[in-house]
Amino acid sequence: MERLDNKVAVVYGNGTIGAAVAVAFAKEGGTVFLAGRTPGKLAQIAARAATGGNIIETVELDALDETAVIQHLEEVVKEAGRVDISFNAIGIPQKGIQGLPIADLSLDSFFMPVATYLRSHFITAKAAVGQMLQQNSGVILAHTPNASRISPPFVGGMVPAWAAVEGLFRSLSVEYGASGIRAVYLNTTGIPETSLIDEVWEIHGKAHGIGFEQFHSVMEGMTHRKRLTTLKELTDAAIFVASDEGSAITGTIFNLTAGMIV
């Protein structure tokens, strides 16, 4: 028996992390619905899962559109009977957002991450709660990088954006834990396999006056084991937390930063 047998999961975001989580959930027996904004990427992810004998249903969806998110989740429940896991893995481009002293950012550049991340996570969590309350169970998951806790320089509005998401998840757990709904955010270092890390490392290398490889080494050196979180470590943790094995975990950070945050 797989760890997510009889579990229905909805994953938002067709980037590297959303794709990896969706495929990992499907491999563990979950019925997976993947929502994203890029049809080509969605098709590639579904094909990748099918190669391993797994099925992922995909839909083009903007996770900032509350009406569309609610309608989609209602369709999922109509088809699958329930929703057990909601994982929001949306991301945004970082050029113009990071790499500058915070007081040099425009108001729009500073607030864009806060508005985007918090709005999307609130919309998807609210929709999930609406369905999970009817079955008295479910888990709402998110991924936040270590910057939410250590506040490195030149990250702009990303620090308050990720910290706000974590605050939202604590509130969800407090208010709905007694109804069987868990809320957990998985906190990692930068993940080398993601395409976004190339963009972010280049931005921060320039901001600190060092090269890409040197900045990467600095980030690795901040961990206890001297290497960053891998994509598999994130997906393995997501599977554990989403499964019944993780039933005692809620309202908290699941720390995958290899000692960067202690």
C-alpha atoms less than 13 angstroms from C-alpha of 160 in its C-beta half-sphere: 12
Give the CATH number for residue 181.
Answer: 3.40.50.720
Residue 223, domain member (yes or no):
no
Residue 217, domain member (yes or no):
no
Residue 14, domain member (yes or no):
yes
Q: What is the pLDDT of residues 153-185, one digit of tens each?
A: 889 999 999 999 999 999 999 999 999 999 999
| 228/218 Cα distance (integer angstroms) | 11
- Split into its structural domains, the chain has a count of 1
Is the CB of residue 113 less than 8 Å from the CB of residue 37?
A: no
Percent of the chain with pLDDT over 90: 83
pLDDT at 94: 80
Residue 202, domain member (yes or no):
no
Percent of the chain with pLDDT over 70: 100
Residue 211, domain member (yes or no):
no
Residue 238, domain member (yes or no):
yes
pLDDT at 235 over 90: yes
Mean pLDDT within 242-249: 98
Mean pLDDT within 126-134: 98
Residue 219, domain member (yes or no):
no
Residue 142 structural domain: 8-194+230-256
pLDDT at 167: 97
Is the CB of residue 229 less than 8 Å from the CB of residue 191?
A: yes
H or E element in which residue 151 lies: none
Residue 168, domain member (yes or no):
yes
